[in-house]
Amino acid sequence: MTVLDALESGPASLAQLVQITGLARPTAHRLAVALERHRMVTRDSQGRFVLGPRLGELSIATGEDRLLAVANPVLVQLRDLTGESAQLYRRQGDTRVCVAAAERTSGLRDTVPVGSELPMNAGSAAQVLVAWEDSERIRRALRGAHFTTATLSQVRRRRWSQSVGEREQGVASVSAPIAGPGGRVIAAVSVSGPLERLTRSPGRLHAQAVIAAAERISEALHGQEADR
């Protein structure tokens, strides 16, 4: 905790970490490297220690009940508006997890059970969850991915993504980012369904509805934070 507290104010070299914490240099190095293995600490482009992504993931998990309470009714509205199944995804390590869903009630549909773990290398929700990561995590995610750096740049520019047969043949989807307090992307909201209904340009059909749903969830989360 001494090391994490020291990094709260910003990046620190090993020498700075020793100075701030008062720990012996070997001890500070051992603790920082151990924290790095668990992704509680990482390093910036200059090799300095900084707080790691695992802290953000734990923070998101802490607020997940709040996220689900806000998102569930919006997912139902999105399903009813589009006629397609709607999902909410959150990143967990190297996978994305479906944490909430509103399934189309009849006919051919794309079903993603709550709790499903899906890869981060395919699908519109994966694109959204990767697009706003730091450069190192983006670089790692692009290894073997069905999307490219240009794809992620386009996602950031228009704030929605689409995929056609990336995760599963015959399935298309559209996703948009949900921003938590502070503006960090914490989840993705999606609609998905058979290619024969969504076509090869699913964003043309449903991007605006998905963006609006993501914005409603984000605004509700910000409102709850302001009330606390």
With a CB cutoff of 8 Å and minimum separation 6, the contacts of 196 are: 108, 170
pLDDT at 197: 94
pLDDT at 9: 77
The CA distance from 83 to 92, in Å, is 28
With a CB cutoff of 8 Å and minimum separation 6, the contacts of 211 are: 159, 160, 176
Task: Answer left, alpha or beta for residue 47, where phi above 0 means left and psi between -120 and 50 means alpha.
Answer: left
For residue 51 the two structure tokens come to 């707080």
Q: Is the pLDDT of residue 106 over 90?
A: no
The CA distance from 3 to 168, in Å, is 44
Amino acid in position 113: P
pLDDT at 186: 92
Q: Is the pLDDT of residue 222 over 90?
A: no
pLDDT at 62: 63
pLDDT at 63: 57
Average pLDDT over residues 112-138: 93
Q: Is the pLDDT of residue 225 over 80?
A: no
Query: How many alpha carbons lie under 13 Å from residue 73 in its C-beta half-sphere?
Result: 6
Angle between helix 202-227 and 64-82 (nearest 10): 150
Q: Is the pLDDT of residue 69 over 90?
A: no
pLDDT at 163: 97
**Could you read off the pLDDT of 16-66 as tens digits, one per residue?**
999 999 999 999 999 999 999 999 999 998 999 999 888 877 766 665 678
Number of neighbouring beta carbons within 10 Å of residue 138? 15
